[in-house]
Amino acid sequence: MLLTSAEYLDSLRDARAVYLYGERVQDVTTHPAFRNAVRSIMRLYDTLHDPAQQELLTTVDAYGIRTHRFFAPSTSPQELLAAREAIAAWARLSYGFMGRTPEYKAAFMASLGANPEFYAPFHENALAWYKKFASRALFLNHVLVNPPVDRKKPIHEVADVFIHLVKERDDGIVVSGAKMLATGSAITHATFVAQNSSANLAKGQAEDFALVFIADMDTPGATLLCRNSYEYQALSPFDHPLSSRFDENDAVLLFDNAFIPWDNVLVYRDVEKANAFYRASGFFSCYNLQAGTRLGVKLDFMAGLFAKGIAANGTDEFRGVQVALGDVIGWRNLIWALTTTLCVDPQPGPGNSVIPKTEHAATLRLFSHRCWDEIHSIFETYLGGSPLVAPSSYKDLLNEDLRPLIERYYRGSDTSAEQRVKLFKLIWDAMGTEFGARHALYERNYSGNNEQIRLD
């Protein structure tokens, strides 16, 4: 049965090694750096048990498992469209600002159900993991990228840093090394370890690096070293309405002689298969549907924010500003149109499944990579310093001496000072805070580096 929010919360209380600010986090569900993000994910699980949303969000797969629509392989354009709507419904709960919610890696999990044979001789593992994740809608993260060190060297020459086989045992394998970027990993159930699209493992030399496996987050010897927490730093939901709720903490995943049982192994010392995984498994085509839909939801939100911002400033009737709003809406329309194309013009997948065409997925990936920089530039150009000069905190509005001044001098065109301050704090959190800057970096790079996006 699909996880409830209470079961999800309880499932995170284990022995996972998460480090932040020099200390091991004892409980991610209560720690001020993670607890609100956990609650945001809980809302997703709540929707799966809402009778009013069950038809929208769930389906019964070929194995008789009721699961989220994107966890199950699609067999027609209509099913892809239905999966897109389920993705969008979840994305709207975070306004598109949580990119690695459970259905993101469902793009991979569904491929295990549709194409377990790709992982032969570990095909039984692949199918077993599909059924396990689909039946509960479990939360998976991934690490595909090697740390940026000694990039000029072949992968097999950087064994002191990159994940590799230490030894083989009768009951599994032992691995050591690091990978990134484990976005949201501290509040997930397991991590998927593989190679990205630029992998070029050398046959006859890099077999010990040619591994694809799944590791539970509480695996002994696995450590998450997290970046600074924007949720922890947020003053209040009034001052930081997005970062206080939707911070997906990024981390580096470190393995130090960590044991991985054979049941969790999908590719073992197979260079050709490890290099081919990103495209041949179907993951590439499917994840772009989730990513594009989530970005479309985010652009819906940003178009509305921009419209409200220019209205509050009284510039919404200026011709040039209207042109800029048209640009924002144009980007929004483009991304949504591309997700529609991914659904209605698919290619045959394994078995009787269909997946988005590779060329359509690559096109969406390219324009998604460019989109956020364009949107960011429009906000900076046409809103100017408005988001920057909001009062420092909600406490300023509670000050009896300041409140009359704020009411007078911070009012908007046809809106109160309090509403205008709230609006521009929201815009600043989306664009100008450290959380906002991280999102600019994320949208530009999460799907691959600048060159690889074009080469693929």
Domain positions in the chain:
280-455
Given this model, what pLDDT does residue 241 score? Answer: 98
Task: Going from the first residue of the chain to its last (456 residues), give the mean pLDDT of each consecutive group of 10, the final group possibly shorter.
Answer: 98 98 98 99 98 98 97 97 99 98 93 92 97 97 93 91 97 98 97 86 94 98 98 97 98 98 98 88 91 98 98 97 98 99 95 94 94 96 93 96 96 95 98 97 86 77
Given this model, what pLDDT does residue 453 score? Answer: 81
Given this model, what pLDDT does residue 200 score? Answer: 83
CATH number attached to the domain at 280-455: 1.20.140.10
Phi, psi values for residue 252, rounded to 5° = -100, 130
Q: Enumerate residues 6+ apart whose C-beta is below 8 A from 194.
A: 142, 144, 212, 267, 274, 277, 278
Given this model, what pLDDT does residue 448 score? Answer: 76
Strand (E) or helix (H) holding 249: none
Binding site per annotation, positions for FAD: 142-144, 183
Phi, psi values for residue 262, rounded to 5° = -55, -35
B/e letters for 436-450, b = 16+ CB within 10 Å, e = fewer, are: bebbbebbbebbbee
Integer angstrom CA distances of residue 59 from 73, 293, 326, 386: 10, 19, 37, 46
Nearest to 281 by CA among 263, 261, 269, 267: 267
pTM comes to 0.96
B/e letters for 382-412, b = 16+ CB within 10 Å, e = fewer, are: bbeebbeebbeebebbeeeeeeeebeeebbb
Binding site per annotation, positions: 142-144, 183
Q: Within 10 Å of residue 160's Cβ, how many Cβ atoms?
A: 11
Length of the chain: 456
d(CA 372, CA 358): 22
